Amino acid sequence: MKAVRFHEVGGPEVLRVEDVPVPQPAAGEVRVQVAASAYNAADNGMRGGFLPIPVVLPHVPGYDVSGTVDALGDGVTGLTVGDAVVGFLPMERDGGAAEYVVAPAEALVAAPTSIPLVDAAALPSVALTAWQALVDDGHVTAGQRLLVVGAGGVVGKYVVRLAKRLGAHVVATASPRSGAAVRAAGADQVVDHTTTDLHDAVDQPVDVLLNLAPIDPDEFAALVALVRDGGTVVSTTAFMATPGDDTRDVRAATVFVRPDRARLTELVSLVDAGELDVEVTRRIPLDELPALHAEGAAGRIAGKVVVLS
């Protein structure tokens, strides 16, 4: 089968398109014929060696995957050959940038039926990140005020939609390029961070501040003043500390996405119910993944890219 792998950490040039044996599922595992995988910034970090995920080399990137169950290992129940599935694969194991991937059965759930199977690969980790930041770490509930910094990205729009579904009042920052999309996702107030100071725009304290952007640490720390006493600061930028304020009992939490099969199943249901949109900006063939990594290494990639196998 064809797969993209790296045998050593380094720049995008370490990625190779190779012919490798088709993997065989062990007990409790499933082999998936891959429809698509999704590119994430963490793939760039693991390939570059600056994200501390203990991968075994050579490694196939692409921990978000969609496809069709092709073979079952011993003891697998609840899945059958031919099932359309989507999954967030263990990040330390080989991913879906290949024609086939072997995955733990518990990493896979039924794919959405309302969107193309290739597009479903764009859902798992970003939607789980949004849910975990809001609910598991932010404890956002109906009637609360939420400030989302950096809502114009893929995770940000999931955050806005899910927060509105929870009944929160959402203030969100976005650039002029993404402001309309954030407003369409349901934000009650959209602040253009290129022209407006948040300290002027936010006229009353928020219960939860959620940062999704690589902002300056001092700027981030200053935003804590916008959080009410006893509130929460959550951030997905794991490369820097999340600030809180012990003197006012403002809690700080940093999110790094975690597997959650039950939650992913629920997110799929929300997609099929029309309550969540799956954003796909580009679809590229497997052979172009090294070039996409080069693009990501040179700067942030806008939107969501899926890689067709």
- How many alpha carbons fall within 13 Å on the CB side of residue 32? 37
Residue 280 to residue 19: CA distance in whole angstroms: 28
Are 297 and 249 within one domain?
Answer: no
Give the CATH number for residue 64: 3.90.180.10
Query: What is the domain count for the chain?
Result: 2
pTM for the full predicted model: 0.95
**Res 156: pLDDT:** 96
Residue 188 to residue 136: CA distance in whole angstroms: 23
**Res 245: pLDDT:** 96
Residue pair 99/127 in contact by the 8 Å Cβ criterion: no
Provide the 8-state DSSP code for 53. Answer: -
Domain assignment of residue 304, given as a range:
2-123+278-308
**Res 294: pLDDT:** 96
**Res 10: pLDDT:** 96
Per-10-residue mean pLDDT, the chain, length 309: 97 97 98 98 93 92 98 97 98 97 98 98 98 97 98 96 98 94 96 90 96 94 98 92 96 95 97 96 98 92 94
Q: Let me know if residue 272 belongs to a domain.
A: no
Are 167 and 107 within one domain?
Answer: no
DSSP three-state, residue 97: coil
Q: Let me know if residue 96 belongs to a domain.
A: yes
Q: Let me know if residue 259 belongs to a domain.
A: no
Are 130 and 250 within one domain?
Answer: yes
Are 142 and 99 within one domain?
Answer: no
**Res 239: pLDDT:** 81
Provide the 8-state DSSP code for 55. Answer: P
Q: Let me know if residue 264 belongs to a domain.
A: no
